[in-house]
Amino acid sequence: MNLEEWLSGFRDLHDQAKRGTLRAEDVAVYHVAREELAHVLLAAQRVSVLRTQPARRVLRAARALPVDIEFGGRTVRALTHQVSVGGFGALLSPWLRCGESVSSALRLPEGELLRTAARVVEVRDEVGHARVSFEFTGLSDADVERLETFVFDAVLDQYNAV
């Protein structure tokens, strides 16, 4: 089976999972396929994954999504430049510091709002702004699944464009 055939089969499983029509016997196959695809993409990106970490939770999608970040009594609206199940990155003014806790409201496609706590894990100062990375804290299982679905939608969209 070539890559195109494999991706076509994966896309079919993914679409069924999103619609809630995936047969019970195919759920494990779908989860294994998600993990395999994530490992391949992370290897291509030269991103290492700990043995205890599922690759599908590390995989990032380069997507601009509106996000409201609340901290210190104020709210800042930004756009993400990448999103994963673990968190997101955004370009902001360099006033946040590593370790700060924030609340975030990430607008997923079709208007779905994901509200969660997050923590600043990296701030890289650049000319005129900072590249800030946030780690989600306390995601529910349902929110993890929503984010995984979003990330794999984005990955499949990239392959449709090629």
pTM of the complete model beyond 0.85 = no
Residues 6 or more apart whose Cβ sits within 8 Å of residue 86: 57, 58, 135, 136
For 60-95, write each residue's pLDDT tens digit.
788 899 999 999 888 999 999 999 888 999 998 877
What residue spans define the domains of the chain?
A: 3-58, 61-139
What is the percent of the chain where pLDDT is above 70?
88
The CATH superfamily of 61-139 is predicted glycosyltransferase like domains (2.40.10.220)
How many CA atoms does the CB half-sphere of 104 hold within 13 Å? 30
With a cut of 70, say whether residue 53 has pLDDT above it: no
